[in-house]
Amino acid sequence: MNDSTSGESVISRVVRLMSAFDRSVPTMTLSGLARRSGLPLTTTHRLVQELARHGLIEKVSNDKLRVGMRMWELGARGSTALGLQEVALPFMEDVQATVRQHTTLAVLDRGSVLYVERLSAPESPLDAAHIAQRMPVHAASSGLVLLAFSDGAYQEEILAQPLEAVTPDTVTDPAIIRRHLAEIRARGHVAIPGIGHMDWVGIAVPVFGASGRIAASLNAIVPRHEANVPAIIPSLLTAAHGISRSLGADNRLPGSRRL
Amino acid sequence: MNDSTSGESVISRVVRLMSAFDRSVPTMTLSGLARRSGLPLTTTHRLVQELARHGLIEKVSNDKLRVGMRMWELGARGSTALGLQEVALPFMEDVQATVRQHTTLAVLDRGSVLYVERLSAPESPLDAAHIAQRMPVHAASSGLVLLAFSDGAYQEEILAQPLEAVTPDTVTDPAIIRRHLAEIRARGHVAIPGIGHMDWVGIAVPVFGASGRIAASLNAIVPRHEANVPAIIPSLLTAAHGISRSLGADNRLPGSRRL
């Protein structure tokens, strides 16, 4: 699979090129792309030509390049993200109508939190947790709730990673995080302020799938000093139950019936 | 870039593999993937191993494979699709609340219509026009409105393709389609029943971008014999103006002012 003297495969270099594009830098020139991806200009040129032939990269005006619609299509078609988005969106609208703050849906993927859906509150100034963005697991309430309901081996794998202090309030001590995880399992929700962004608190609850396994976390992101956390949790829990039910989870309470 | 005796590049074969997954077949075994993609089993095995290492393909239970979250992430980050979705979603919710039918947003890409967003009407039985699905340009009202506002050279390129009769009602005569395009430009909307699905009519209006160029089409898909087309068009036009304005198009009428 290698076709270069560097020994790096075509697939690995294509991933490097595509990773160079993001929300803050959606277009760039060929030389900019080479620089951001760390690949030689000739290699970048050759790969971009073929990626463009397949529509995976598009040329826009002023010699700028961007991610092609075909790349978006191949990633979206048949993906778990799209299935989750479709199921969750109506329930997220209900939360947004009630809470009027950024409402997001996140999963764990490859050792970090990945946001798969978001409804933005136009009046909220927080520019973070956008769709397809990532956060470290320990620096997001969504990450902590996802980790709390994951199996123990996976928890230890995550806690064995270097735990960066994203803000002064980020908890980086595995022992304290383990205690948080036990509390989250007992309470069924989490809201630790400032761990990802100093002035904000993420409020997160679990969403379960058909197997009863954790499938996602549903979150609201609220200004830290105005956050009415006790009022937001019931809204999130209600919507998360709806999403879990739609995903096929059996989340009826044993004693609950219509009399 | 070729690494096989067949002369087909790695990128081209990866596109073939990823294209094998779709909404109706989101997971498959390695041999199923080889069969659907038309690649030898050994090649498929080797490529899947590396794609899985990068998270572009994931292994689920029962030896099944599916599109990885990382593939979705790379396609979504920085893509035009995501930008369009974010801008259009609130306006599409307004249409959906009024019209209560499938509401979709489509673009032209690589010679066909690509649906980039959709709000589903739970009560509608039509299982089509899903996110990341495609339709032939001439067999969808969305395609016709997108084509009507594209430049003449592009129109002729599309009309020079083989025009398949998707249903008995699909118009396949380029001369008649050209007449339709002129009418759509004059009227600003289109609703030709049965061209993509016999029992349905797509109602489509144009969305313009900052340059004043066509950016997308906004559509409702309605049962053919119940469709109150004259009532739906104003809702679509209103929302399309909002999306165009949010995309930076100058779509104020010259005489319009607050007295």
Q: What is the pLDDT of residues B179-233, one digit of tens each?
A: 999 999 999 999 999 999 999 999 999 999 988 899 999 999 999 988 899 999 9
Q: Is the predicted pLDDT of residue A48 greater than 50, yes or no?
A: yes
Please report the ipTM that was assigned to this predicted complex. 0.91
pLDDT in tens, A159-184: 999 999 999 999 999 999 999 999 99
Residue B211: its pLDDT value, please? Answer: 85
Which positions of chain B have pLDDT values less than 50? 1-3
pLDDT in tens, B53-68: 999 999 987 789 999 9
Residues of A in contact with B64 (CB under 8 A): none
Q: Are B88 and B117 in contact (CB under 8 A)?
A: yes
Residue A21: its pLDDT value, please? Answer: 96
Nearest Cα of chain A lies from the Cα of B74 at a distance, in angstroms, of 6
Please judge whether A79 and B69 are an interchain contact, meaning their C-beta atoms are less than 8 angstroms apart. yes
B165 DSSP 8-state letter: -
For residue A259, name the pLDDT band (cuts at 50, 70, 90). low
The fraction of chain B above a pLDDT of 90, given in percent, is 80
Which of A32-41, A147-156, A248-257, B160-169 bottoms out in mean pLDDT, i.e. has the lowest? Answer: A248-257
Please judge whether B66 and A77 are an interchain contact, meaning their C-beta atoms are less than 8 angstroms apart. no
Q: Is the predicted pLDDT of residue A251 greater than 70, yes or no?
A: no
3 state DSSP class of B127: coil
Q: Is the predicted pLDDT of residue A258 greater than 60, yes or no?
A: yes
Q: Is the predicted pLDDT of residue A127 greater than 60, yes or no?
A: yes
Sheet with B57-59, strands from edge to edge, namely: B27-28, B65-67, B57-59
Which of A72-86, A132-146, B141-155 bottoms out in mean pLDDT, i.e. has the lowest? Answer: A72-86
Q: Is the predicted pLDDT of residue A218 greater than 80, yes or no?
A: yes
Residue A57's nearest CA partner among A20, A24, A96, A86 is A20
- Mean pLDDT comparison of A54-63, A201-210, B75-84, highest-scoring range: A201-210
- Look-up: residue for tokens 């790969």? A47
Residue A78: its pLDDT value, please? Answer: 84
Residue A4: its pLDDT value, please? Answer: 52
Please judge whether B83 and A26 are an interchain contact, meaning their C-beta atoms are less than 8 angstroms apart. yes
Of A67, A80, A134, the CB nearest to B78: A67
Q: Which domains does chain A have, with CATH numbers?
A: 10-75 (1.10.10.10), 80-258 (3.30.450.40)
Please judge whether B75 and A67 are an interchain contact, meaning their C-beta atoms are less than 8 angstroms apart. yes
Residues of B in contact with A39 (CB under 8 A): none
Residue B36: its pLDDT value, please? Answer: 97
**pTM, two decimal places:** 0.90
b/e per residue B10-47 (b: at least 16 CB within 10 A):
bbebbbbbbbbbbbeebbbebebbbebbebeeebbeeb
Residue B155: its pLDDT value, please? Answer: 97
**Cβ contacts of A40 within 8 Å, gap of 6 or more:** A34
Residue A124: its pLDDT value, please? Answer: 86
Q: Which residue of B has its CA nearest to A96?
A: B90
Beta carbon pairs, A and B, within 8 Å: 183
Residues of A in contact with B69 (CB under 8 A): 79-81, 107, 109-110, 114, 116
Residue B250: its pLDDT value, please? Answer: 76
Token pair of A186 as six digits:
């007992």
Please judge whether B78 and A25 are an interchain contact, meaning their C-beta atoms are less than 8 angstroms apart. yes
